[in-house]
Amino acid sequence: QSLPIFSSEEISKHNSKDNGIWVSYKDGVYDITDFVDLHPGGKKLTCEKIMLASGGPIDAFWNMYAVHKTDEVLEILEQYKIGSLSPEDQKPIDLNDPFSKDPFRLPVFRINSKKPFNAEPPIELLTDSYITPNELFYVRNHLPVPEIDPDSHRISVDLGDSSIQLSLEDLKTKFKPVTITTTIQCAGNRRQEMSDFKTKGLSWGPCAIGTARWTGARVRDILLSAGFDPDDKTIKHVHFNGFDDDITNTSYGASIPKQKAMSLDGDVIIAYKMNGVDIPRDHGYPVRAIVPGYVGARNVKWLRQITVGSDESTSHWQMNDYKAFSPSTTFETANYKKAPSIQEMPVISAISVPKPGSIIDPEDGMVEVKGYAWSGGGRDIMRVDVSADGGNTWQEASLTKDDPDADDSAHCWAWTLWTAEVPVAAGKVEIICKAIDSANNCQPEWIGPIWNLRGFLTNAWHRVNVTVEN
Ligand code: MTE
Ligand code: MO
């Protein structure tokens, strides 16, 4: 007999134990709820990974986790077939669509824009591990993901009067590899909170942030080997250009101050590994700039060129984006030329557990609260305070860091995860957190005084509203 036909829309509704866990593979649709429940010992990992793909196709997903794609697993999957995928949803890729070559992404992402792809992981997964798994790291693309052949790709280091071309092999063998653990955060992280008032930009929640161990060559070493004179006072900025371009052939670009790029303490690298493996395509394969402590936008992905100049990059993203304004500045009065570029990031924190809207059954009147805290410029997190009574009383959270540089105050690039036990009263409760960094910077109480029409740098006290049962 013939099985029913399902659309990908219908499949996407089945992505939890409550609604059933469905996936599609090639033209088949499978209800794997029971399979996931069975948790066959050694297959636990497979189950957990498949859970991440629930409600969507697992084809490309399995290519990513090829080790799990055994005949045995495919046979098991066949037992759970419930239907076929509708022919419209099996469409071959449209070659006229510049985004058709974009890589596969996990369906668990909260998508803010599909083309270009912009997405953040769910908050409950974000702080599960100190190092964000590559496949859960937020993605912020302005353009289609370029396809780069790693063998022929060259990074051009152009110094005006001299120029060198580096292959991936050169980058890996000619320079001392360094590994830097750093948090990267988009300037638009938590913009959603400012969007109650009008802002221009994607509506990010609090998860446009992640932490990874990046391995690569120091930009300092690269520039020196290309003959750059660090004492040349006319040079003030180092520019990075990407391989991704728009219809006018303008590529993504950004710049950072020379001091940051050339300082040994700056730890600016051209990375070719993310958490020990090749950088995934969404995150810059094969090479990207890593600028610890600075705004995400300067960590140029798919790097094709490094240049130096007396001025900042003239790229749209350096000149007319990533700048904040006073709360009274309007779209009419915003003067992008005059406003300084956002570079070093301010102190921020956010609550990841409990989720907004949760109903909590407290144990002995206490609730466990978790989250992250981070500051830019290599500043460490000294303290995180949590309150569940409108800020009358505060509990100090216990802090977890796994940044090998955390002991060195000039080098704390990665975030701090924290946990606090907080007393709660029954009823509607607002849980608040705030962090203090190693320069004693603290977060503003609310977004009012920092509101800006672009919705950048939303670092007010983070608030989560929950209901506490009696
Ligand atoms: N680099 C290129 N070439 N193109 C881009 O669109 N986006 C930037 C930056 N580097 C971008 C880029 C922005 S705004 C951010 S926040 C980070 O990459 C996001 O990095 P991720 O996608 O690896 O999280
Ligand atoms: Mo960003």
Domains along the sequence of the chain with CATH: 5-90 (3.10.120.10), 154-319 (3.90.420.10), 348-468 (2.60.40.650)
Can 433 be counted among the known catalytic residues? no
Can 207 be counted among the known catalytic residues? no
Can 462 be counted among the known catalytic residues? no
* Most informative mutation of 117, 126, 141 for ligand 1 (most atoms within 8 A of CB): 141
Q: Which ligand is nearest to the CA of 143?
A: 1
The whole-number pLDDT of residue 49 equals 59
Q: What is the position in ligand 1's atom list of the atom closest to the CA of 302?
A: 3
Q: Give the active site residue among 140, 213, 220, 411.
A: 140
Instruction: Name the residue at shortest CA distance from atom 20 of ligand 1.
Output: 140
Query: CA 339, CA 10: separation in Å to the nearest integer?
Result: 47
SS (H, E, C) the chain: CCCCEECHHHHHCCEECCCEEEEEECCEEEECHHHHHHCCHHHHHHHHHHHHCCCEECHHHHHHCHHHCCHHHHHHHHCCEEEEECHHHHCCCCCCCCCCCCCCCCCCCEEEECCCCEEECCHHHHCCCCCCCHHHCCEECCCCCCCCCCCCCEEEEECCCCEEEEEHHHHHHCCCCEEEEEEEECCCCCHHHCCCCCCCCCCCCCCCEEEEEEEEEEHHHHHHHCCCCCCCCCCCEEEEEEEEECCCCCEEEEEEEHHHHHCHHHCCEEEEEECCEECCHHHCCCCEEECCCECHHHCCCCEEEEEEECCCCCCHHHHCCCCCCCCCCCCCCCCCCCCCCCCECCCEEEEEECCCCCEECCECCEEEEEEEEECCCCCCEEEEEEECCCCCCCEECEEECCCCCCCCHHHCCCCEEEEEEEECCCEEEEEEEEEEECCCCECCCCCHHHCCCCCCCCCCCEEEEEEECC
Instruction: Name the residue at shortest CA distance from atom 22 of ligand 1.
Output: 139
Q: What is the position in ligand 1's atom list of the atom closest to the CA of 282?
A: 22
The whole-number pLDDT of residue 32 equals 85
Token look-up 């792809």 returns 117
- From first to last of its 470 residues, the chain has per-residue pLDDT tens of 688 999 988 998 898 878 888 988 888 999 988 877 655 444 554 555 566 778 877 775 565 455 556 777 778 788 889 999 998 887 666 667 889 899 989 889 999 999 999 999 999 899 999 999 999 999 999 999 999 999 999 999 999 889 999 999 999 999 999 999 999 999 999 999 998 777 788 999 999 999 999 999 999 999 999 999 999 999 999 999 999 988 778 899 999 999 999 999 999 999 999 999 999 999 999 999 999 999 999 999 999 999 999 999 999 999 999 999 999 999 899 999 999 999 999 999 999 999 999 999 999 999 999 999 999 999 999 999 999 999 999 999 999 998 776 666 568 999 999 999 999 999 999 999 999 999 999 999 999 999 999 999 999 999 999 999 98
The whole-number pLDDT of residue 41 equals 46
The whole-number pLDDT of residue 35 equals 73
- Report whether 296 contacts 261 (CB < 8 A): no
The whole-number pLDDT of residue 455 equals 95
Instruction: Name the residue at shortest CA distance from atom 8 of ligand 1.
Output: 297
Going from the Cα of 291 to the center of ligand 1, the distance in angstroms, rounded, reads 12
The whole-number pLDDT of residue 26 equals 85
Handedness of CA 82, 86, 87, 92 (dihedral sign): negative
Going from the Cα of 337 to the center of ligand 2, the distance in angstroms, rounded, reads 19
The whole-number pLDDT of residue 42 equals 45
The whole-number pLDDT of residue 126 equals 94
Q: Tens digits of per-residue pLDDT, 328-374? A: 999 899 999 999 999 999 999 999 999 999 999 999 999 999 999 99
Can 39 be counted among the known catalytic residues? yes
Instruction: Name the residue at shortest CA distance from atom 23 of ligand 1.
Output: 283
Q: What is the ipTM of this complex?
A: 1.00
Q: Which ligand is nearest to the CA of 456?
A: 2
| Cis preceding-peptide flag for 354 (omega within 30 of 0) | yes
- Report whether 262 contacts 230 (CB < 8 A): yes
The whole-number pLDDT of residue 90 equals 78
Q: What is the position in ligand 1's atom list of the atom closest to the CA of 116?
A: 6
Residues with CB under 5 Å of ion ligand 2 are: 140, 186, 296-297
Query: CA 24, CA 7: separation in Å to the nearest integer?
Result: 10
Q: Give the active site residue among 186, 207, 412, 433.
A: 186
Going from the Cα of 322 to the center of ligand 2, the distance in angstroms, rounded, reads 8
The whole-number pLDDT of residue 407 equals 64
- Closest C-alpha to 291, from 237, 344, 353, 356: 344
Predicted structure pTM score: 0.86
Contacts of 272 (CB under 8 A, 6+ apart): 168, 171, 172, 215, 216, 278, 279, 286, 287
* Most informative mutation of 115, 142, 183 for ligand 1 (most atoms within 8 A of CB): 142
Q: Which ligand is nearest to the CA of 120?
A: 1
The whole-number pLDDT of residue 291 equals 98
Please list every protein residue whose CB sits less than 6 Å from any atom of ligand 1.
137-143, 184, 186, 242, 244, 252, 282-283, 296-297, 299-302
Q: What is the position in ligand 1's atom list of the atom closest to the CA of 322?
A: 14
Q: What is the position in ligand 1's atom list of the atom closest to the CA of 185?
A: 16
The whole-number pLDDT of residue 318 equals 96
Q: Give the active site residue among 68, 110, 142, 463.
A: 68
Handedness of CA 28, 30, 36, 42 (dihedral sign): negative
Q: What is the position in ligand 1's atom list of the atom closest to the CA of 140?
A: 22
Q: Which ligand is nearest to the CA of 191?
A: 2
Largest separation between any pair of C-alpha atoms in the chain: 78
Going from the Cα of 283 to the center of ligand 2, the distance in angstroms, rounded, reads 12
